[in-house]
Amino acid sequence: MDIGELFDLHGKTAIVTGGGKGLGAQIAHGLAEAGANVVVCSRDLSACEEVSKELEEKGIRSLALSCDVTKPEDINQVVDTTMRQFGSIDILVNNSGTSWRAPTLELQEDKWDKVMSVNLKGVFLFSQAVARVMVKQGSGKIINIASVSGMGGTSPSLMDTIAYNTSKGGVITFTKDLAVKMAQHNIQVNAIAPGMFPTRITKKILEQSAPSLMDQIPAKRFGNDDDLKGAAVFFASKASDYCVGHVLVMDGGMTALI
């Protein structure tokens, strides 16, 4: 098999949660450019429809669906609709996420629960639903979007987001354990851990701390609109068939300094 075939996604179908904006939209475009059919879903249906239209203009089959990843009934609807339209689910990207910024000793319980429900429970529920399909198919790729903030503590002056950091640490461990459980079914589960990318979640952080943050990034820049595409296509393609439970850090060298 040549290198083109290893990375080719033609004939494959992907679901990208939180695919209407930010990193999810970037990943959706990357998978589409490699040839995959792409279903984008989130609570913001209009944003998903906009991305889906952009993908179709590239000659890719795409669907935009409404979904709250904390609700099993919404997830099942996305899975069922995708199977009816495309006949398979080959790739799942668990990208939906939220955060709440507050001093640790003042963070309210309901805000903690909300972050955990979307960032961790949602990843579990969607992975479980799609993995059932993939086991029957005998193959599949699950890509979880973690974060470098899930690898350790962060200064409260930079990221006073203990619920978000904890949830992403949970995603990393979940990825490794699910990968072990699914490997026997020819399902590869891996994660991408982005560093600082301009998104809705990082907007306030970058506004307040951009100069000091830049000093902590050896590459001397934040992530751009193309930096996650290659990583996503690698984990979605046959090129990663022997990669199981890996967390690929994409942070411009931030964690290399630790």
Residue 115 near residue 160 (C-beta atoms within 8 A):
no
Percentage of the residues of the chain whose pLDDT score is greater than 90: 86
Q: What is the reported pLDDT for 167?
A: 98
Residue 223, CA distances (Å) to 51, 76, 123 in order: 20, 33, 23
Residue 162 belongs to what H/E stretch?
helix 162-182
pLDDT digits (tens, 9 = 90+) for 56-103: 999 999 999 999 999 999 999 999 999 999 999 999 999 999 999 999
Choosing from 86, 126, 164, 235, the catalytic residue is 164
- 242 among known catalytic residues: no
- Report H helices in 190-242: 203-214, 229-236
**What's the average model confidence in pLDDT over 18-42?**
97
**What's the average model confidence in pLDDT over 205-220?**
76
Q: Domains (ranges, CATH) in the chain?
A: 3-251 (3.40.50.720)
Interstrand relation of 247-250 and 37-42 (parallel, antiparallel or unpaired): unpaired
Cα–Cα distance for residue pair 194/228, rounded to 1 Å:
8
Q: What is the reported pLDDT for 158?
A: 77
At residue 216 the predicted structure's pLDDT band, cuts being 50, 70 and 90, is confident
